[in-house]
Amino acid sequence: MSLVIVGSLAFDTIETPNNRKEKIIGGSCAYAALAASFFTTPNIVAVVGEDFPQDVIELFKSRGIDTSGLEIKKGKTFHWEGRYDDDPNFRTTIRTDLNVFRDFKPNLSQEYRNADIVFLGNIDPDLQDDVLAQVKNPKLLAMDTINLWINTKKDGLLQVIKNVDYFFANDEEIKLLADEKNLIKAGKKILKTGPSLVAIKKGEHGALVIEKDFIFGMLAYPCEDVVDPTGAGDSFAGAFLGYLDKVKSYREKDIRTAAVMGSTMASFIIEDFGIERFKKLTAEEIECRFNAFKQLVSF
Amino acid sequence: MSLVIVGSLAFDTIETPNNRKEKIIGGSCAYAALAASFFTTPNIVAVVGEDFPQDVIELFKSRGIDTSGLEIKKGKTFHWEGRYDDDPNFRTTIRTDLNVFRDFKPNLSQEYRNADIVFLGNIDPDLQDDVLAQVKNPKLLAMDTINLWINTKKDGLLQVIKNVDYFFANDEEIKLLADEKNLIKAGKKILKTGPSLVAIKKGEHGALVIEKDFIFGMLAYPCEDVVDPTGAGDSFAGAFLGYLDKVKSYREKDIRTAAVMGSTMASFIIEDFGIERFKKLTAEEIECRFNAFKQLVSF
């Protein structure tokens, strides 16, 4: 068993300065799993309502995603509505209907419990902790979070962070969690609480990987038209871990490449609404963009 | 004649969250010339009052800076007072005493008019334009600016930008000037107005070079303690141009290296107040930091 992703599947209603899309497919699990599917065969643990489109589940399957951990429950799928500012780094949540997600209790199959890599999407820290209690000796435990949990369940969240290997968050979240304004200091402070690696997503400014023995940074791909920033962070984490699952190695060299793969996939997903860009993305495009990242920073 | 730098020399009074320094040496010309002096023998055009310390002029000379274009006028030296927020990217000007700088009329010697590279520091666009009228056929004209001139003298500023090769500014300034929130679009918009290269300084997020044929980006050096951010941008530009003056070439490869040299010198100057860090900086430290920049982004 390779990579297991636990997270949300949702309908997202998204408003940008130039457009509005009603109830398109979203959720951390959708983005992370699709991004990872370009490198490995991920397994998902999530819940949806009866209204979740079968063709999306078919899309997941066609991309090699194992959906046996996807629970279809009586009721409606989680619905999130948000609005982006002119500056795509800022968004406002307008509405959250948890629906069937309210009672989500991730329960991993025996096979999933033996996963090499487990990624805990940005769900409630209590649920993340539940999953930690289920998995047996994984090679890599990774997690993401959001401001909501830092503000409302900090102690529980820190308890989970203590027990994972890789912690993904954006710059704002890291600074908030560490109560520290210098990003490097903030990252190192989190590192001291348990994880061996902190991956900091900085939107248009790229990403930083702070590991015990090295720091690796990459720029964002110079994008002139960010259509929809939703899912960039989840795609980053999904591709990062999907790549490591593919190469079955966690050496410095592999981590650096994994982080660029994460940035590469994040740079694609923002080019269209929701998961649209991943539907038509090719291996050639990924290779070409990866090389463009290399070119961008070469000297 | 190689690199001529036209700009301000000043006393700066600087307040940071943890410290306050009264009337230390500053000004765009001081930072740019000292940074450049690690690569070439720059020439300065500036004005100071009789109160400007002779030992600083001796320091300039000891670093190979030609001070024959430095005018010492009856009166007091330009004095700027500013305060930095907890976030070193934000500063507030508390007080500006122009003093002898009020009547600064840069007048280049015949020798200086034949310079290969001329750098116009962030002075009044009218003065920058005066200098442009004096120089004869330079290989490279570069300029910097500040928000003040974008807000108060935009037309005059655009007139100068039209006639230079390299335009240096920070991300906020570029967005303001181009009236465009996407940084890449903003940079490309400025590029269309005349320059062949726009160098965008992004503080803790590094810098971007947008050239007609390529984009090059670099991260900031991961600094845990920014003591004083003053002069980082001027040091970036000074080292960038000083390096190009040293290699006497403006090919893509050289521009990429020049930009990293700029970032390298900027990463040092913020480690101490004012120009202090440059006083004790060694060639070995520069080489070591340059290699660290390479390591930071290698994959």
**Mean pLDDT in residue range B281-292:** 98
Q: What pLDDT is recorded for position B39?
A: 98
The predicted-structure confidence for A83-119, as pLDDT tens digits, reads as follows 998 888 788 999 999 999 999 999 999 999 999 999 9
Residues 6+ away with beta carbon under 8 Å from B273: B14, B19, B21, B24, B227, B228, B230
* pLDDT reported for residue B76: 98
A13 within 8 A of A23, measured Cβ to Cβ: yes
Q: Which of B202, B223, B225 is closest, CB to CB, to A205?
A: B202
In Å, how far is B178's CA from the nearest CA of chain A? 14
All residues at 6 or more sequence positions from B65 whose CB lies less than 8 Å from its CB, including other chains = B33, B34, B37, B41, B42, B43, B44
**pLDDT bracket for residue A77 (50, 70, 90):** very high
3-class SS shares of chain A: helix, strand, coil, % to 5: 40, 25, 35
Q: Testing the interface with B: which of A171, A205, A243 to mutate, by most B Cβ within 10 A? A: A205
Query: What pLDDT score does A89 carry?
Result: 78
Of the candidate ranges B221-225, B245-249, B260-264, the one whose mean pLDDT is the lowest:
B221-225
Residue B180: closest C-alpha in chain A: A86
**B297 chain-A contacts, CB cut-off 8 A:** 216-219, 297
Residue in B closest to A261 by C-alpha: B299
pLDDT band at A274 (very low <50, low <70, confident <90, very high): very high
B217 touches chain A (CB under 8 A): yes
- Pairwise pLDDT comparison (A18 vs B61), residue with the higher score: B61
Q: Report the distance separating Cα B217 and Cα B222, nearest Å.
A: 15
CB contact under 8 A, A299 and B204: no
Residue A1 has pLDDT above 70, yes or no: no
CA–CA separation, B167 and B145 (whole Å): 8
CATH code where residue B176 lies:
3.40.1190.20
Among chain A residues, CA nearest to B261: A299
Residue B89 confidence (pLDDT):
78
pLDDT at A88: 82
pLDDT of residue B247: 97
**Could you tell me the two tokens for A52?**
């979740």
Residue B133 has what pLDDT?
97
Percent of chain A with pLDDT over 70: 100
List of chain B residues whose C-beta atoms are within 8 Å of the C-beta of residue A185: 224
Q: Which of B185, B188, B218 sits opposite A297 (nearest CB)?
A: B218
Tell me what pLDDT residue A165 has: 98
Instruction: State the complex-level ipTM.
Output: 0.91
Mean pLDDT value across chain A: 96
Judging contacts by C-beta atoms under 8 Å, the chain A residues touching residue B87 are 181
Q: For residue A34, name the pLDDT band (cuts at 50, 70, 90).
A: very high
Which whole-number Å values give the CA distances from A14 to A149, A231, B170, B201, in the listed order? 22, 12, 31, 32
Question: Least CB-CB distance to B215: which of A182, A202, A296?
Answer: A296
**Residue of B231, B228, B229, B204 whose CA lies nearest to B218:** B204
> Which two structure tokens, joined as six digits, stand for B288?
């070591």
Using a CB–CB cutoff of 8 Å, tell me whether A219 touches chain B: yes
B159 class by beta-carbon count within 10 Å (0-12 exposed, 13-18 middle, 19+ buried): middle
> What is the rounded distance in angstroms from the CA atom of residue B116 to the CA atom of residue B136?
9
d(CA A244, CA A199): 14
**pLDDT averaged over chain B?**
96
Residue with tokens 């907890």: B86
pLDDT at position A225 is 87
For the stretch B162-209, pLDDT in tens is 999 999 999 999 999 999 999 999 999 999 999 999 999 999 999 999
pLDDT of residue B90: 83
Strand, helix or coil for residue A235: helix
Q: Return left, alpha or beta for A248; rule: phi > 0 is left, psi -120 to 50 is alpha, else beta.
A: left
Sheet order of strands, B3-6 included: B66-73, B43-49, B3-6, B117-120, B140-144, B166-170, B197-201, B207-211, B215-218
Using the beta-carbon criterion (under 8 Å), do B218 and A299 form an inter-chain contact?
A: yes
DSSP state of A270: T
- The verdict on B292 touching A (C-beta cutoff 8 Å) is no
Provide the domain limits for residue B138.
3-297
* Segment A185-208 mean pLDDT: 96
- Residue B94, chain A, CB below 8 Å: the answer is no
pLDDT per residue as tens digits for the range B94-107: 999 999 999 999 99
Containing H/E element for B83?
strand B79-84
Mutation test of the interface with chain B: which of A219, A227, A244, A255, choosing the one with the most B Cβ atoms within 10 A? A219
The pLDDT of residue B1 = 67
Among chain B residues, the shortest Cα distance to A225 is held by: B182
Distance CA B209, CA B203 (A): 14
pLDDT of residue B284: 98
Q: B223 touching A, CB under 8 A?
A: yes
Q: How many domains, in total, are found in chain B?
A: 1
B204 and A183: CB-CB below 8 Å? yes
| Residue B182 DSSP symbol | S
Residues 126-185, chain A, touching B (beta carbon < 8 A): 181-185
pLDDT(B280) > 70 = yes
